[in-house]
């Protein structure tokens, strides 16, 4: 797992690697958790990421003060691959860069990672995490994926979680299903229950090819500046962009069509899965 963090005072992206070699869990012989990962936020919060069953044997997370909660990430976007976050939620991220964290599941190599860093710089998002799963292989690692998402949610405690539409690509289906499992009610006191869960539209895959009752029923209005940033972030993935007609080359037109129907200049659309209003 690699954690990237962009300091707001310095938009260059730092990669925070594992602080020590993986070691046996000191708390349980059955624990396979990878120790030594840290997440360094712009406000210098450092926490160990550790999976729930082992954490349960230790002291639970501290209760946050209202001011600490204000500085927390509000929205977490889970992307199967580096580029899905920009196509699906690039406008939302550009609109609320300080409130968003982007979690990418697959590690698709150095070129893609550099393109992702550039996209995140364009969107000015400060929190990014890569879980390091092999591209195309996530369905074979569902337990590990759910555990990794559990850890991310427990650490960031977001109010809103965004998952990909589960269409066609096996990684997208796996991340959607793992994400829903991570949103469960759990017996673990450290488990985070995200009150609001959405599915985002990547606009690349034909939704009719995956039978579902998901409906696009939440719309985020975007400005010209937001759609400019989203377009630029998508175009940062140059190794992915085809020369022929393709949705990634029509980000502005798609956002305009979605927005105009709802009396906005531009919009992104999401399907509401759950909303708990406290």
Q: Is 80 in the site for Zn ion (CB under 5 A)?
A: yes
The footprint of Zn ion on residues 192-221 (CB under 5 A) is: none
Q: Residue 149 CB, nearest distance to Zn ion (Å)?
A: 16
**Encoded tokens for 230:** 């989203």
Q: Residues touching Zn ion: how many (CB under 5 A)?
A: 3
Q: Residue 252 CB, nearest distance to Zn ion (Å)?
A: 20
Residue from 13, 82, 84, 222 in contact with Zn ion (CB under 5 A): 84
Q: Are 39 and 129 spatial neighbours (Cβ–Cβ below 8 Å)?
A: yes
Phi, psi dihedral angles at 272 (to 5 degrees): -75, 125
Of the candidates 224, 239, 231, 267, the one whose C-alpha atom is nearest the C-alpha of residue 86 is 231
- What does the buried/exposed string (b/e) look like for 165-202 if buried means 16 or more CB atoms within 10 Å of the residue's CB? bbbebebbbbbbbbbbbbbeeeeeebbbebebbbbbbb
Contacts of residue 110, defined as CB under 8 A and 6 or more positions apart, other chains included, come to: none
Q: Among residues 193 and 205, whose Cβ is nearest to Zn ion?
A: 205
Stretch that binds Zn ion, among 72-80, 132-140, 208-216, 221-229 (CB under 5 A): 72-80
Q: Among residues 106 and 180, whose Cβ is nearest to Zn ion?
A: 106
Stretch that binds Zn ion, among 22-30, 75-83, 229-237, 245-253 (CB under 5 A): 75-83
Q: Among residues 4 and 81, whose Cβ is nearest to Zn ion?
A: 81
Of the candidates 141, 123, 53, the one whose C-alpha atom is nearest the C-alpha of residue 83 is 123
Q: Is 90 in the site for Zn ion (CB under 5 A)?
A: no
> What 3-state class would DSSP assign to 46?
strand
Phi, psi dihedral angles at 242 (to 5 degrees): -80, 160
Q: Are 104 and 254 spatial neighbours (Cβ–Cβ below 8 Å)?
A: no
> Which residue number is nearest to Zn ion in terms of Cβ?
81
Q: Among residues 33 and 167, whose Cβ is nearest to Zn ion?
A: 167
Q: Among residues 84 and 268, whose Cβ is nearest to Zn ion?
A: 84
Residue from 34, 81, 112, 127 in contact with Zn ion (CB under 5 A): 81
- Interface residues with Zn ion (CB under 5 A) are 80-81, 84
């Amino acid at each position: 797992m690699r954690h990237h963090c962009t300091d707001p005072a310095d938009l260059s992206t730092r990669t925070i690697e594992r602080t020590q070699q993986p070691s046996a869990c000191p708390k349980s012989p059955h624990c396979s958790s990878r120790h030594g990962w840290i997440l360094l936020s712009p406000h210098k919060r450092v926490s160990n990421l550790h999976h729930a069953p082992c954490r349960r044997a230790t002291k639970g997370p501290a209760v946050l003060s209202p001011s600490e909660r204000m500085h927390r990430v509000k929205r977490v976007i889970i992307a199967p691959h580096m580029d899905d976050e920009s196509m699906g939620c690039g406008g939302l991220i550009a609109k609320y860069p300080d409130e968003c964290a982007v979690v990418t599941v697959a590690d698709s190599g150095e070129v893609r990672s550099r393109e992702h860093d550039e996209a995140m710089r364009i969107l000015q998002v400060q929190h990014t995490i890569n879980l390091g799963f092999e591209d195309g292989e996530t369905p074979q690692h569902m337990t590990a994926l759910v555990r990794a998402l559990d850890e991310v949610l427990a650490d960031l405690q977001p109010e809103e979680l965004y998952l990909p539409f589960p269409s066609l690509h096996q990684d997208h289906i796996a991340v959607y299903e793992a994400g829903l499992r991570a949103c469960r009610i759990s017996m673990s006191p450290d488990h985070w229950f995200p009150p609001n869960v959405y599915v985002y539209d990547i606009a690349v895959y034909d939704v009719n090819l995956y039978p579902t009752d998901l409906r696009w029923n939440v719309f985020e209005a975007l400005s010209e500046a937001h759609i400019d940033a989203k377009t630029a972030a998508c175009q940062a993935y140059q190794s992915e962009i085809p020369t022929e007609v393709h949705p990634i080359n029509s980000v502005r037109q798609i956002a305009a069509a979605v927005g105009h129907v709802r009396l906005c200049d531009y919009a992104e659309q999401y399907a509401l899965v759950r909303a708990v209003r406290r």
